[in-house]
Structure 1
Amino acid sequence: MAQFTILVRFRIADGQLATFLPLMIENAQASRREEPGCERFDVLQPEDEKDCILLYEIYRDRAAFDAHCVSPHFKRFDAATKSMVAEKQVTVLELLAEP
């Protein structure tokens, strides 16, 4: 089965980034540490958008991503940050070529 890759874009509510970011980083680290199907989980910030956080995530397959979405650490993160997120967009990506 092919890898499952997503790009998640968060726009964080005014004044919430300092609280959101440590929770996001903790969630990313737990995903890599506790989920054998999580192959990559990068937390990024566009240089010119300080209220934006991007996630680049690669999972072994769709089932591994589905397992991530029901993991205890993800559920804690989601509940703790729901009010901090002004907007969230998830894009599923298809790998067309590797270097």
Structure 2
Amino acid sequence: MYAVTVVFQIKAEVVEDFLPLMIANAEASLKDEPGCRQFDVCTDPDRPGDVFLYELYDDADAFQAHLQTPHFKSFDAKVAGMIAQKTVRTYAKVAS
């Protein structure tokens, strides 16, 4: 398994516009990508501009395929101006 975490800091004036686009992207990823196993969109009421994603893929190739999908490219273009900061981290499962 291959885990991806993303922390967005969204510009305060567009948080309400960002979230529906983020949720639609997550739903499309789960529906249309066989290698996407989990895609959680999380927020903190005390920090409404922070959005945390937890994504789980079969492997790194499945994540790279995700980045090439039409729904991701559309989402990415629509939200580019809404993001103040973005941190992406990836993790591979340690074999047991």
TM-score, L = length of structure 1:
0.90
Q: CA shift at 1:46, angstroms? A: 2.3
Over residues 60-97 of structure 1, what are the superposed CA-to-partner deviations in whole Å (9 max), with x where a residue is unaligned?
0000000000100000000000000000000113446x
Match for residue 14 of structure 1?
Answer: 12
Match for residue 26 of structure 1?
Answer: 24
More strand by share: 2
Match for residue 71 of structure 1?
Answer: 69
Unaligned runs of 5+ in 1: none
Distance 2:69 2:85 in 1: 22
Unaligned runs of 5+ in 2: none
More helix by share: 2
Cα RMSD over matched residues? 1.4
TM-score, L = length of structure 2:
0.93
Over residues 13-68 of structure 1, what are the superposed CA-to-partner deviations in whole Å (9 max), with x where a residue is unaligned?
12101100000000000000000000000000124211100000000000000000
